[in-house]
Amino acid sequence: MRRDLLPYILSRIVLSLAFGGLFYLSGSSVWTAMLITGVLITLFLWAPNSGRYSVHPEYGITALRRDERTQVINDQAARNAFVAVMLLSGAALIYLRATGNPSDVIVYLKTILLAGVGVYYISDFALRKTQ
């Protein structure tokens, strides 16, 4: 573990504990909250070595920054996800109007948002391979 990244690491541990606490307070079991906290801490500890961020210890708790290439990839992935969400929303709207069953709206909305997240990560992965 890099000592110069201590402010970043401590801040992320606090953040993970707070997130786990929120899960516990919202009705999840202690074990689920602990699992989520553990997963988050692991991800935050892995991030500086992931190659996704340039590391700038001089910035303290915001030591991880996207560099030029990762910013381009992130922007493109976000645009792809936005377009996917818009197209799927349009399709769902047309379908729901045709079938006349508005009670399904929330289910469709959840699915569309999940699809958007999926498109973002798939784009991110594919762009990292090609750029």
Partner 1 sequence: MKLTNKLKEARVAKNMTQADLGDKVGVTRQTIIAIEKEKFVPSAKLALELARALETNFDQVFWLE
* Residues in contact with partner 1 by the rule CB under 8 A: 51-54, 56, 65, 67-70, 72, 128, 130-131
As measured in angstroms, the least distance from the Cβ of 97 to partner 1 is: 44
**Which is closer to partner 1, CB of 73 or CB of 88?**
73
**Which is closer to partner 1, CB of 99 or CB of 130?**
130
Phi, psi of 93 (to 5 degrees): -60, -45
As measured in angstroms, the least distance from the Cβ of 71 to partner 1 is: 10
What single DSSP character describes residue 52?
Answer: S
- Note every long-range contact of 110-116, with CB atoms under 8 Å and residues 24 or more positions apart, other chains counting: 112/85, 112/88, 113/85, 115/84, 115/85, 115/88, 116/81, 116/82, 116/84, 116/85, 116/88
Other residues' Cβ atoms within 10 Å of the Cβ of residue 79: 12
As measured in angstroms, the least distance from the Cβ of 69 to partner 1 is: 4
**Which is closer to partner 1, CB of 48 or CB of 116?**
48
**Which is closer to partner 1, CB of 61 or CB of 92?**
61
As measured in angstroms, the least distance from the Cβ of 51 to partner 1 is: 5
Whether 43 contacts 67, CB under 8 Å: no
